[in-house]
């Protein structure tokens, strides 16, 4: 008998003035030990169907199904005790955001031990010992200490590991992973996916992997369901889905993996559009030392030099905390830099007063990651897009609205959207509005700070396409900040890799992907998810110490740079610089 049996599942949510169908009659089964991937964009009903399986939906949801069985129990008729047995022992779930999945006021050890005690009759001491064993199993090195940590003391990747340990604590027969790596960096994502696969094999569990990322699917599962608008579009073995997709939507998804663009032609003018010289940012932090406080400096960004030539797209990549966003904000003068110069059209703007800066504001604009908070919820789209004109006092209100409407069309939205509010739009549509607002003044520099990382794959491709088209039309120079290397590969002309506040490597895109020199760059490139299940491989991961130890070494003769005890950026080929030790 299959472990999970779902037949004709329908879920709808009641809302003011009607109901919204989230899932429209889907059926699937899952055998023991099998791994199934459910892929689809947000709103396609993939999370909702799995939540329905554990009866985790809010009271406004109406669930009907001819069959909804988990481990031989009818979920729809299950009582309280059956449900608590099902949740945990039959199926356990791990979520996208581990930060909100843990209770911030209890320690990790307490929360895992509590889960163990809820399902098994064991003493507190035994539960704690078991929790420790589980944490060790998910490759947390200092498990004994982590037991007494609070969630905020752990990084996202570590928390996700702890979350997996908690899910394992009741020996579930099926593990439901709901976008488990979406909130994580590429390198951490690769580690977590590998861990999930190992654990699945070791515990003999079945796995349901819910994701919008085909790379994750290619890495982990045997069988795939493709969902779109609450219906199953296509179902089959993972290799078949990738090799011979039958449905249009699946083809569209696959195409988004392999998007590529013409490189920008580059400008004739040799002066760069934007140049950052020795830009750094440090924060003063206060530590208690006995009776007194001592002050230390935290270096978020250490002396970064980046050149953005005209009509080019330069990527800044790196994990979270590497200082790439801070660099972008400093370049825009949204965060004050501690030292260094920001040169726009040959003039250093790092010390200008707000009034003197205003004309430069027209030349450089920014698009943010979170399109939801980037638009004022109380303004209509026309007002939002026209705001730059309003601030700079360009044209009459009528002309401003007219121009806003033009831009609405230019970014691919209908004119009738002008009177709508941001909350009525999807993430991709909101990002389009944000792009229109950034470009309506006709800037020459655009900083795009992870503009697509919160979006679905197909939407992401559209937004990237839009950015690229507008870049070519307007001759924009773009600083593209991202941790998504596949996008970087297809879109940008050159890449700057940042690691712990420093630039560790810088080269034209093709070269950096073909011949990475710095160990961190290699680690980043190695972590890119496969684009086809055939490319699955075992990965080895480097710790920070190993990366530091593997820093390349060159001699003075090779580089022409003066020897120094500290690693420094050396030029090893035209336009290719890498951080390395220079020995005499």
Partner 1 sequence: MTEVAVPIADLPQRSPIWFAWQRFLSNKAAVAGGLVLAVLILMALFAPLITPVPPEAQLFLTESLAFPSAQHWFGVDGLGRDFYTRIVYGARVSLSIGFIAAAFSVVIGIPVGALAGYFGGRLDWFVMRIIELFSVVPPLLAAMLLGALTRGGYFTIVLIAALFGWVQVCLQVRAQVKAFREREFVRAAQALGASPWYIIRRHLIPNSVSPIIVGFVLAIPLAMMLEASLSFLGIGVPPPTPTWGQMINEGIDYMFFYWHMAVFPTAALAITVLATSLFGDGLRDALDPTLKGR
Binding site for partner 1 (CB under 8 A): 13, 15-16, 18, 20, 22, 42-43, 47-48, 51, 56-58, 61, 95-97, 178-179, 229, 332, 334, 354, 357-358, 361-362, 364-366, 368-370, 373-379, 387-388, 391-392, 419-421, 423-426, 434, 437-438, 441
Give the residue from 414, 267, 272 showing the smallest Cα distance to 347: 272
**CA–CA–CA angle 230, 408, 335 (5° rounding):** 95
In the bound state with partner 1, the residue whose beta carbon lies nearer, of 371 and 486, is: 371
405, 413 Cβ separation under 8 angstroms: no
In the bound state with partner 1, the residue whose beta carbon lies nearer, of 285 and 391, is: 391
- Give the shortest CB-325-to-partner 1 separation in angstroms: 11
- Give the shortest CB-394-to-partner 1 separation in angstroms: 12
Distance of CA 51 to the CA centre of its chain: 23
In the bound state with partner 1, the residue whose beta carbon lies nearer, of 178 and 505, is: 178
Phi and psi based region of residue 29 (left: phi greater than 0; alpha: psi -120 to 50; beta: remaining): beta
- Give the shortest CB-326-to-partner 1 separation in angstroms: 13
- Give the shortest CB-72-to-partner 1 separation in angstroms: 25
In the bound state with partner 1, the residue whose beta carbon lies nearer, of 22 and 75, is: 22
Q: Which residues contact 105 (CB under 8 A, 6 or more apart)?
A: 150
SS3 label, residue 511: helix
Residue with tokens 């590991």: 161
In the bound state with partner 1, the residue whose beta carbon lies nearer, of 441 and 572, is: 441
In the bound state with partner 1, the residue whose beta carbon lies nearer, of 270 and 354, is: 354
Task: Compute the distance between CA of residue 82 and CA of residue 80 in angstroms, rounded to an integer.
Answer: 6
479 beta partners: 314, 447
SS3 label, residue 164: helix
SS3 label, residue 386: helix
- Give the shortest CB-411-to-partner 1 separation in angstroms: 15
In the bound state with partner 1, the residue whose beta carbon lies nearer, of 376 and 535, is: 376
Residue with tokens 């972008």: 328
- Give the shortest CB-355-to-partner 1 separation in angstroms: 9
- Give the shortest CB-407-to-partner 1 separation in angstroms: 14
- For the record, the structure tokens of 432 come out as 């389009």
4, 67 Cβ separation under 8 angstroms: no
Task: Compute the distance between CA of residue 468 and CA of residue 450 in angstroms, rounded to an integer.
Answer: 14
In the bound state with partner 1, the residue whose beta carbon lies nearer, of 262 and 355, is: 355
- Give the shortest CB-225-to-partner 1 separation in angstroms: 18
In the bound state with partner 1, the residue whose beta carbon lies nearer, of 46 and 310, is: 46
Q: How many residues does the chain have?
A: 584
Task: Compute the distance between CA of residue 295 and CA of residue 285 in angstroms, rounded to an integer.
Answer: 6
- Give the shortest CB-274-to-partner 1 separation in angstroms: 14
Give the burial class of 129: count Cβ atoms within 10 A of its Cβ; 0-12 exposed, 13-18 middle, 19 or more buried: middle
* Torsion angles phi and psi, residue 197, rounded to 5: -65, -45
In the bound state with partner 1, the residue whose beta carbon lies nearer, of 413 and 507, is: 413
Cβ density class 324-351: b for 16+ within 10 Å, e for less: bbbbbbbbbbebebbebbbbbbeeebbe
- Give the shortest CB-129-to-partner 1 separation in angstroms: 30
SS3 label, residue 474: helix
């Amino acid at each position: 008998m299959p472990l999970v049996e779902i037949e004709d599942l329908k879920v709808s949510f009641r809302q003011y003035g009607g109901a919204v169908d989230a899932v429209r009659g889907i059926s699937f089964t899952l055998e023991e030990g099998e791994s199934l991937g459910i892929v689809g964009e947000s709103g396609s009903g993939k999370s909702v169907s799995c939540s329905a399986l554990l009866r985790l939906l809010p009271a406004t949801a109406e669930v009907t199904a001819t069959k909804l069985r988990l481990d031989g129990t009818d979920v729809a008729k299950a009582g309280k005790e059956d449900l608590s047995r099902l949740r945990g022992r039959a199926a356990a779930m791990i979520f996208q955001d581990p930060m909100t999945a843990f209770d911030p006021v209890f320690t990790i050890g307490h929360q895992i031990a509590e889960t163990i005690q809820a399902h098994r009759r064991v003493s507190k001491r035994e539960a704690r010992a078991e929790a420790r064993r589980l944490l060790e199993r998910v490759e947390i090195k200092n498990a004994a200490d982590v037991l007494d940590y609070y969630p905020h003391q752990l990084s996202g990747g570590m928390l996700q590991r702890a979350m997996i340990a908690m899910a394992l604590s009741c020996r579930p027969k099926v593990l439901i992973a709901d976008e488990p790596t979406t909130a994580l960096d590429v390198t951490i994502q690769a580690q977590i996916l590998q861990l999930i696969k190992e654990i699945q094999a070791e515990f003999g569990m079945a796995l349901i992997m819910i994701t919008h990322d085909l790379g994750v699917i290619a890495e982990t599962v045997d069988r795939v369901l493709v969902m779109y608008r609450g219906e199953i579009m296509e179902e089959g073995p993972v290799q078949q889905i990738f090799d011979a997709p039958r449905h249009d939507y699946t083809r569209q998804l696959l195409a988004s993996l392999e998007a590529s663009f013409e490189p920008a032609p580059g400008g004739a003018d040799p002066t760069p559009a934007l140049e950052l010289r020795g830009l750094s940012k440090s924060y003063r932090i206060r530590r208690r030392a006995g009776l007194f406080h001592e002050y230390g400096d935290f270096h978020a960004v250490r002396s970064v030099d980046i050149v953005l030539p005209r009509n080019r797209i330069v990527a800044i990549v790196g994990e979270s905390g590497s200082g790439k966003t801070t660099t972008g904000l400093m370049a825009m003068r949204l965060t004050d830099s501690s030292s260094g110069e920001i040169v726009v059209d040959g003039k250093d703007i790092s010390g200008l007063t707000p009034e003197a800066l205003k004309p430069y504001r027209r030349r450089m604009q920014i698009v943010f990651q979170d399109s939801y908070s980037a638009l004022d919820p109380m303004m209509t789209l026309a007002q939002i897009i026209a705001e730059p004109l309003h601030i700079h006092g360009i044209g009459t209100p009528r002309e401003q609205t007219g121009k806003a409407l033009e831009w609405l069309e230019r970014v691919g939205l209908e004119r009738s959207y002008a009177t709508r509010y941001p909350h009525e739009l999807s993430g991709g549509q909101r990002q389009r509005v944000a792009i229109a607002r950034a470009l309506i003044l006709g800037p020459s520099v655009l900083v795009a700070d992870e503009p697509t990382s919160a979006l679905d794959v197909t939407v992401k491709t559209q937004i990237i396409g839009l950015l690229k088209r507008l870049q070519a039309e307007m001759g924009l120079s773009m600083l593209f900040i991202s941790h998504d290397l596949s996008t970087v590969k297809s879109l940008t002309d050159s890449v700057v890799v940042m690691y712990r506040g420093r630039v560790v490597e810088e080269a034209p895109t093709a070269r950096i992907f073909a011949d990475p020199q710095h160990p961190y760059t290699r680690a980043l490139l190695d972590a890119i998810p496969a684009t086809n299940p055939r490319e699955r491989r075992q990965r080895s991961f480097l710790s920070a110490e190993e990366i530091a130890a593997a820093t390349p070494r060159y001699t003075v003769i090779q580089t022409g740079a003066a020897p120094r005890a500290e690693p420094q950026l050396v030029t090893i080929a035209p336009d290719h610089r890498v951080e390395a030790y220079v020995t005499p």
